[in-house]
Amino acid sequence: MNTLEDRLREALAERATLSPVDPDAWDKTVARSHRRRRLGGRALRGPGS
C-alpha cells in the first residue's frame, strides 16, 4: 500500500495534467501588463488585486 505522501504525489500529478492552457496566454499577459502600466500599477480587473 502506498503511503499518503505517495498517493498525494500521484493524485496531484494526474489532476495537474487536466488543467487547460490558453495558447494566446503570452499576448494576453503582455496586454494586461500594458493596461496595468497605464494605470500606474493597478490592475484593471483580476482576482486579488
Partner 1 sequence: MSALFQARYPELVRLADLLGADDPEDIAQEAFARLIQKQRALRDQDAALAYVRSTVCNLVRNRHRHLRVVRLRTPAGHDEASSEHAVMLREDRRELLAALAALPPRRREAIVLRYWLDLSEREMAATMRVSAGTVKSLVSRGLDALGKALEGKV
**How many angstroms separate the CA atoms of 49 and 44, rounded?**
9
Q: In the complex, what is the shortest distance from the CB of residue 4 to partner 1, in angstroms, rounded to a whole number? A: 6
**How many angstroms separate the CA atoms of 32 and 37, rounded?**
9
Q: In the complex, what is the shortest distance from the CB of residue 19 to partner 1, in angstroms, rounded to a whole number? A: 4
Binding site for partner 1 (CB under 8 A): 4-5, 7-16, 18-22, 25-26, 28-30, 32-33, 36-37, 41, 43, 46-49
Q: In the complex, what is the shortest distance from the CB of residue 18 to partner 1, in angstroms, rounded to a whole number? A: 4
End-to-end CA gap in the chain? 44
